[in-house]
Chains A and B, each alone.
Chain A
Amino acid sequence: MNRFAALLDRVMYEPRRNAKLRLLVDYFRHTPDPDRGYALAAMTGALMFKEAKAGLIRGLVEERVDPVLFRMSYHYVGDLAETVALIWPAPHSQVNEARPNQHDRPSPPLWGRDGEGGAHGSTGLDDLTVGAIPPSRPLSRPPLPHKEGGDFGAPAMGHNNPPPHVPSISEVVETLATTSKSDLPAKLTAWLDALDEEGRWALLKLITRELRVGVSARLAKTAVAQLGGMEADEVELIWHGLEAPYENLFAWVEGRGEKPESGNPAPFRPPMLSHPLEDEDFPKLDARDFLGEWKWDGIRLQAVSGHASDGRPVRRIYSRTGEDVSRAFPDLVEALAFDGAIDGELLIVREGRVQTFNVLQQRLNRKAVTPKLIDEFPAHLRVYDILAEGEEDLRALPFAERRKRLEAFVARLNDPRIDLSPMVAFTSWDELEAARADPASVGAGPDADAIEGCMIKRADSPYLPGRPKGYWYKWKRDPYIVDAVMMYGQRGHGKRSSFYSDYTFGVWRDGPNGEELVPVGKAYHGFTDEELVKLDRYVRNHTVNRFGPVREVEYGRDRGLVLEVAFEGLQRSTRHKSGVAMRFPRISRIRWDKPSAEADRIETLEKILERGEKEVHPLEGTPVEGTAQPKDAP
């Protein structure tokens, strides 16, 4: 675990892609199988164990640390794994911990940092493993210069009670795959006791599947490819037939083995993503090079179907991150009576009409997929691309060509649950802008409610994994804008930990004691890092009340900060005092200049809501009164 932890810790602080790559390649080169394979799986999100829940980890730490102090710390640090790693007290502050040969250590401080001795520096201690090797592991591997845990048999220490056993990443992963839920807490506790801060941090990141150290799956695969002087795509192509710990993959890139066969008849192919279209893009883009489609307000899915070697059909539905979500959509899986891979949007279609995202969310929110749920919220796939047909990989074809193949494919399939996303014809950007402003007028009909803008794709674009520049653009409809007053600031998480970065804002309404602000939403993005620093300072300097991680700021008719909030839509909500909930609210501007009294009133939102009850995305060109109307189109 320690080598992996050290890698993560170094990579995380390294801003430069090439330097990250170098660190990764170096790690893969000097770390034996299966450790490096499991590390690769961790970084590509391919680990199969059931992740440990945050609640479990919280429970463990609260057995040892005052829960109040733990919670305060967590609010401060903003990251569960790191908080626990830092706060985890030495095991011998517990009673009944037999730890002989420790009496020569300095006495533990209140929150001792020692007890980590086994994990630092001394490889002899690191590598001492006592029979925890599952039989599935190959028994002999060539010795490699760097080693981590595992079976390299350092000599036993000269006393009966071994020092804490520092687990290797393989041991952690393999144990998690086989450990029952009830045994997990004890296992985890033992590991946390054995590891140092860095190791604990990496372990917790790993088992909660929240690695996020600035290494994409793509980067990790690129590093593997570089190990053998290959291109990342060569690894990508066979990737989905492979399984951790990828010993055959490493053997192949290192020239020691055959190219692995893709064993999955219905593999996931990384989706192609788009860039938002910015004003400055237009002069550089020629409308004649592009094809247009609607951008549907649903969930991106990839539906793949094939046959196993025994002829059995294998049908899978993947999320855009490659997660197999087939089980959530049995009604859609049924419809995948084809050989190939198609890319499209999950929508709910009732009586031929696409429902809004709000409706789709009601299906996504349910855990159990019952016949009633399927009946009420029938899943539908509106497809816009085809990646493979039969054995043929179509991704290198130009988009226009793939579109033709797709049209024929969907026609042959002839299933009402899968249909084509129509093209939007245009010859100039102005024409497309008009269509985007009023989809119903150019044939979208009642489905216009579920359209959130246009997709623009180069007619000659191949289907490339990731977000390549210059091929696909999304041109979303313009958001609503409302001026609201900041009421509370809350500490952020992750990158923004300990900054007051989440802001609750309110608009005016008539209260029992005159005009009052009522909270209508909370936003935590839309501003730059520089603006965040200013907003954070504003919260700190105008605090009137503190509630744990939340601070109430000054607000009133003559004081307070006005935030211009952009949002995509409104819903009625019983959870909010104001009765409304915003979709995708973000701070579009900070109005340092605007007096609070001039912020918007709840009636402005009510009007949008009334329209939204008929149409979630009211068409542009029919302005809503008040300031809450879509911004001018670019």
Chain B
Amino acid sequence: MALRSTDILTQTPQGLYCPLGDFHIDPIRPVKRALITHGHSDHARAGHRAVMATRETLRIMGVRYGEDFAATTQEAALGESAKLGDVTVRFTPAGHVLGSAQISIEAGGTRVVVSGDYKRAEDPTCLPYEVVPCDVFITEATFGLPVFRHPDTRDEVRKLLDSVALFPERAHIVGAYALGKAQRVMALLREEGYDKPIHLHGAMERLTELYKSEGVPLGETPKVVAAERSKLAGAIVLCPPSSIQDLWSRRFPDPVTCFASGWMQVRARARQKGVELPLVISDHSDWDDLCRTIVETGAGEVWVTHGQEDALVHWCTTQGIQARPLHMLGYGDEGEAEPDETAHPPVEPPAHPPLEGEGRSASAIRGGVGSASADEVAVPTPPRPLADPPPQGEDSSP
């Protein structure tokens, strides 16, 4: 007899939890064992005892939180099944950013797929999404409203290049999240034949190097030197969204403020951010793709984690698909910047002192790079992603 979906996955204050396998997925608080879908800081946090994720995601976490971000780590090979407790888990590409994966959990003939964040649109910097047929599909709904229909990214990049051609005396400052979006924009620019150097804010440098070392060709990407900013007329400069309006970007020659994000589809959003050239480029699924994916998984039941849950749940209901919103906090809230672009939600202290006196367990998890003592893990410091720039940009940091 098939298990009920809630036997396989439940909601806890830490996030989604699999009781049969005794692990959390993308927990927002430190837990004993975490399976991580992708490296964005609202999903991948530091301080878990054991972490299982794709090789790329583990590398990203290492770059952001230091190599000792977890006591032990386990690499999940894409497409391969692994037994965790009483369940079988499998990681499959989610097409969101480098290393992003959906996690499917199977037990007693029931399959639950946690998609994490995902997109169906083409992305030269990561593996494409693969549909995993399942009974229960757990989806995000960041752009879960029918007003979100992402345009072809090539047109958006051409908009940028047209503007660069039109204003050769101005610098184009493109706000893009440091993980994923920035590298995608670079790759798209290269695909459109742009072969000049693409200048990077210091906060983007290490993740961009990581992408390059994973074989993503991004061309020449020099770091912006503070003193040289005024000489970058006609250049394209990528920086974190928080820097597009600060002093750092004002020092460039007559900067054109651009922002690459799915939110740019809504004019008021672009205006609120003082964006002059909105570029609708998103690493999330738009409405059409959310709906299409739900249908293609064949799931009879859909849980919506975060974003515009209500609309997607309503749509599922009209399609005869059982659906419920999880209203999960801690992931990009819909009114913030895109979750992968937002200020990071405050990390609340653990509800109860976790893991106290518990030994390291989980036979399936092999020893990882970590050497942190149990104490250090139990009292985690709030994750401080390196990708978050200091207020004035790289030139104010030591």
Which A residues lie at the B interface, using CB under 8 A?
9, 12-15, 65-66, 68-70, 72-73, 76-79, 82-83, 86-87, 109-113, 201, 491, 494-500, 536, 540-541, 546
User: Is there an interface contact between B269 and A113, defined as CB atoms closer than 8 Å?
Assistant: no
Chain B residues near A13 (CB-CB < 8 A):
267, 270-271, 275-278
Interface CB pairs A-B, < 8 A, 20? A9-B267, A12-B267, A66-B315, A69-B146, A69-B311, A77-B268, A78-B268, A86-B147, A86-B148, A86-B266, A87-B146, A111-B149, A111-B288, A113-B151, A494-B268, A496-B268, A497-B268, A498-B335, A540-B335, A546-B310
Encode B258-302 as 1/0 by CB contact (under 8 A) with A: 000000011111111011111000000001100110000000000
- Give Cα A280–Cα B318 distance, bound, in whole angstroms: 60
User: Is there an interface contact between A536 and B335, defined as CB atoms closer than 8 Å?
Assistant: yes
- Give Cα A461–Cα B84 distance, bound, in whole angstroms: 82
User: Is there an interface contact between A495 and B271, defined as CB atoms closer than 8 Å?
Assistant: yes
Q: Of A9, A68, A500, A541, which is within 8 A of B314 by CB?
A: A68
Chain A residues near B268 (CB-CB < 8 A):
77-79, 82, 494-498
Q: Top 4 A-B pairs ranked by shortest CB distance?
A: A497-B268, A86-B147, A109-B288, A72-B311
Which B residues lie at the A interface, using CB under 8 A?
145-149, 151, 265-272, 274-278, 287-288, 291-292, 308, 310-311, 314-315, 318, 327, 329, 333-336, 346
Which of B145, B274, B276, B334 has the largest count of A CB atoms less than 10 A from its CB? Answer: B145
- Give Cα A70–Cα B315 distance, bound, in whole angstroms: 11
A-B contact sample (18 more), CB < 8 A, given A9-B267, A498-B335? A13-B278, A15-B276, A72-B145, A76-B145, A76-B147, A76-B334, A82-B147, A82-B267, A82-B268, A86-B147, A87-B146, A110-B292, A112-B288, A201-B267, A495-B272, A496-B272, A497-B266, A497-B268
Chain A residues near B146 (CB-CB < 8 A):
65, 69-70, 73, 86-87, 111
User: Is there an interface contact between B276 and A111, defined as CB atoms closer than 8 Å?
Assistant: no
Which A-chain residue is minimally distant from B147 (CB atoms)? A86
Which of A69, A77, A499, A546 has the largest count of B CB atoms less than 10 A from its CB? Answer: A69
User: Is there an interface contact between B147 and A73, defined as CB atoms closer than 8 Å?
Assistant: yes
- Give Cα A500–Cα B333 distance, bound, in whole angstroms: 12
Chain A residues near B271 (CB-CB < 8 A):
12-13, 495
Knowing A13-B275, A15-B276, A110-B287, the reply to whether A72 touches B314 (Cβ < 8 A) is: yes
Chain B residues near A78 (CB-CB < 8 A):
268
Chain A residues near B148 (CB-CB < 8 A):
86
Q: Of B276, B308, B336, B346, which is within 8 A of A72 by CB?
A: B308
User: Is there an interface contact between A76 and B267, defined as CB atoms closer than 8 Å?
Assistant: no
Chain A residues near B333 (CB-CB < 8 A):
540
Chain B residues near A79 (CB-CB < 8 A):
267-268
Q: Of A70, A72, A112, A498, which is within 8 A of B266 by CB?
A: A498
Chain A residues near B276 (CB-CB < 8 A):
13-15
- Give Cα A112–Cα B268 distance, bound, in whole angstroms: 23
- Give Cα A9–Cα B268 distance, bound, in whole angstroms: 11
Chain A residues near B274 (CB-CB < 8 A):
15
Q: Of B269, B275, B310, B329, which is within 8 A of A498 by CB?
A: B269
- Give Cα A497–Cα B268 distance, bound, in whole angstroms: 6
Chain A residues near B311 (CB-CB < 8 A):
68-69, 72-73
User: Is there an interface contact between B292 and A109, defined as CB atoms closer than 8 Å?
Assistant: yes
Chain B residues near A14 (CB-CB < 8 A):
276
- Give Cα A79–Cα B272 distance, bound, in whole angstroms: 14
- Closest CB of chain A to B265's CB: distance in Å? 7
Chain A residues near B314 (CB-CB < 8 A):
66, 68-69, 72
- Give Cα A9–Cα B267 distance, bound, in whole angstroms: 9
